[in-house]
Amino acid sequence: MPLAPEAVLKMARQIEMTDEVEYTCDDVHRLLDEFAEAVLRGEDTARLMPLVQKHLDMCHDCREEFEALLRVLRAPTSAASAGSAV
Ligand SMILES: [Zn+2]
């Protein structure tokens, strides 16, 4: 007994329209590099990657991870200045 095409179509449309998709921590971890780099470039991450932004707002673990990553990315890439401290 096949599923009525209408029902399938209706279901597909509902999935498409669902804005309330949420990322898991795994999803966010996979995108965290990209997200942090976009932040550093001054891009509008809330618009580009709203789901990551949303997850970071809710998930303390991922937020800490993200902030740690930002710190690393902001740090000078070369160690040339390491010896310049007084
Ligand atoms: Zn998370």
Burial (CB count within 10 angstroms: exposed 0-12, middle 13-18, buried 19+), residue 70: middle
pLDDT tens digits, residue range 30-51? 999 999 999 999 999 999 999 9
Give the model's pLDDT for residue 79: 57
Tell me the CA–centroid distance for residue 76 and ligand 1, in Å: 27
Which pLDDT score, from 0 to 100, does residue 56 have?
96
Residue 43 lies in a domain: yes
Q: How far is the CA of 15 from the centre of ligand 1 (A)?
A: 23
pLDDT score at 83: 53
**How many independent structural domains does the chain possess?**
1
Q: What token pair was written down for 34? A: 């990209």
The answer to whether residue 6 sits within a structural domain is no
What residues flank ion ligand 1 with Cβ within 5 A?
Answer: 25, 59, 62
pLDDT at 10: 77
Which residues form the domain of 26? 18-73
pTM, rounded to two decimals:
0.64
In a domain? residue 67: yes
- Low-confidence residues of the chain: pLDDT under 50: 85
Q: Rounded CA gap, 39 and 19, in Å?
A: 23
Give the Å distance between the CA of 43 and the centre of ligand 1: 22
